[in-house]
Chains A and B, each alone.
Chain A
Amino acid sequence: MATLSFNHIGIIGLCAAVPLNKINNLKHTQNFSSEDVAEVVDKIGVEERRFAPEGMCSSDLCYAAAEQLITDLNIEKSEIDLVVFVSQTADYRMPATAILLQNKLKLGKHTAAFDIGLGCSGFVYGLSIVYSLINAGGFRNALLLNGETRSRVYSPKDRKTAFLFGDAGTAVLISKHEKFGKSIFDLNSDGSLGDLIKMDHGGYRNPTTLESLSEKVIDEHGNMRSGEHGYMNGPEVFNFVIREIPRSVKNLLKQAERDESSIDYFVFHQANTFMNNYLAEKMKLPKDKCPTNIKAFGNTSSVSIPLAIATELKNKLEGSKTLFLSGFGVGMSWANAVVSFEDCQISNLVEI
């Protein structure tokens, strides 16, 4: 297992933005009976989610979060020279959204900007890439933006996914500073499981056709979706997670020469309550060390880790803290990190 280690680099501040538009899952009964919905909601533990209204993209949520963060941290925009946007719901197929955000945020032309197309592992991957670039020399301040409008990816008529996902965007400012201790990352992939979470059509392998856009009944339970809706094999994803994640968490702790008790918080990708509870139980982690906000925001893919930090750890990251971050999902792709935090400033949640 390859690991990446860094010293004296860290997260200065973090801000999250969500749409004002709140969805009450129990009332989300257009396509299913209230009993069915109640049963699903009880198991996955998602009571509310935020859905971006028409016309609002994940980049708009990241933009709002970034502006607020820059204001709160009182950072000169001219001192930001790297923007990385992590998303699977970009504005356009081209150009990369990060470049459009450089302009929208009024950052200088000296700014390096690019997108990363990862899902639930994307925050940890993105963080490791930004740390690497900063570590290489020239960059002073970097913005890592994670944005998703996952509400538009899945069919509201497929109960396997209809109640789970929500929209959000986060902005994280990263830079060099002596105060930060050691951070360590590991990054993993298993493309043989590429069809566990997937959208079949709409890319270049299977381009959009009239057929790919038409909704069809896809199983004996009457669930419906089109070829341009995402789908998820829930049981196989769960099998994957309990097989790979506890082991990889343990391995990275060992590499970092740490035990569970020296970690202040374990922030896992917010998949669903059932899975997250089981993971914590299996790894024998105390509940109060595993912050969760899935009840209020659902699964927001690559945004879920920074969103959980923003809503659950505000005012809890003063002084020196060590966080374990673990993202896993679509790909399958998974990444873990032991991250040194020093007086991380967390902005109030932005609602737009």
Chain B
Amino acid sequence: MNKVIEVLIEALEIENKEVNLSDNFKEYPEWDSLSRLSLIALMDEAFEIQIDDETFKKIDSVEKLIAEVELRMAK
């Protein structure tokens, strides 16, 4: 599984959910401001990156999240 998806699953505690690339994870019922904090911590831990709020607001699918992580890791 893609590492970004693994991190997302851990942040939202959705081990039993099927996550698709096209999903807007912000529409999952488990998504809230608290899971956002977990995602920040886990992203930092796993990839040593931070995604600013402005960019993060524009990310509306798992696919875009993966692309943003890859972009930041390449820098």
Task: Type the 1/0 row for B35-64, where 1 means its CB is closer than 8 Å to any CB of A.
Answer: 011001100110000111100100000000
* C-alpha gap A243/B34 in the complex (Å): 19
Say whether B56 contacts A235, CB under 8 Å.
yes
The SS class assigned to the B binding surface is helix
Min CB–CB distance A219 → chain B (angstroms): 10
Residues of A250-275 whose CB lies within 8 A of B: 274-275
A233 at the interface (CB under 8 A from B): yes
Min CB–CB distance A42 → chain B (angstroms): 9
Determine which of A40, A43, A221, A238 lies in contact with B40 in the assembled complex, contact meaning CB atoms within 8 Å. A238
Min CB–CB distance A194 → chain B (angstroms): 15
Determine which of B34, B36, B45, B50 lies in contact with A40 in the assembled complex, contact meaning CB atoms within 8 Å. B34
Instruction: State the total of A-B contacts with C-beta under 8 angstroms.
Output: 38
B36 partner residues in chain A, CB cutoff 8 A: 234-235
A242 and B37 in contact, given A235-B56, A282-B44 (Cβ under 8 angstroms): no
Determine which of A39, A236, A278 lies in contact with B52 in the assembled complex, contact meaning CB atoms within 8 Å. A236
The SS class assigned to the A binding surface is helix
Say whether B52 contacts A43, CB under 8 Å.
no
A239 at the interface (CB under 8 A from B): yes
B33 at the interface (CB under 8 A from A): yes
Q: Determine the interface band of chain A, counting residues with CB < 8 A from chain B.
A: 10 to 19
Give the number of residues in B that approach A within 8 Å (Cβ atoms). Answer: 13
* C-alpha gap A39/B34 in the complex (Å): 9
Determine which of A160, A233, A234, A239 lies in contact with B50 in the assembled complex, contact meaning CB atoms within 8 Å. A239
* C-alpha gap A234/B33 in the complex (Å): 8
Say whether B33 contacts A235, CB under 8 Å.
yes
Min CB–CB distance B31 → chain A (angstroms): 12
Say whether A234 contacts B52, CB under 8 Å.
no
Say whether B53 contacts A233, CB under 8 Å.
yes
Residues of A156-192 whose CB lies within 8 A of B: 159-160
* C-alpha gap A253/B34 in the complex (Å): 32
Say whether A242 contacts B53, CB under 8 Å.
no
* C-alpha gap A284/B30 in the complex (Å): 30
A275 partner residues in chain B, CB cutoff 8 A: 37
Min CB–CB distance A239 → chain B (angstroms): 4
Say whether B34 contacts A235, CB under 8 Å.
no
A243 partner residues in chain B, CB cutoff 8 A: 50
B44 partner residues in chain A, CB cutoff 8 A: 242, 282
The 5 closest A-B pairs by CB, nearest first: A239-B50, A43-B34, A236-B53, A278-B41, A242-B44
Can you report 23 residue pairs joining A to B where beta carbons are below 8 Å apart? A43-B34, A43-B37, A160-B33, A221-B33, A233-B53, A234-B33, A234-B37, A235-B40, A235-B53, A236-B53, A238-B37, A239-B51, A239-B53, A242-B40, A242-B41, A242-B44, A242-B50, A274-B37, A274-B41, A275-B37, A278-B41, A282-B44, A282-B45
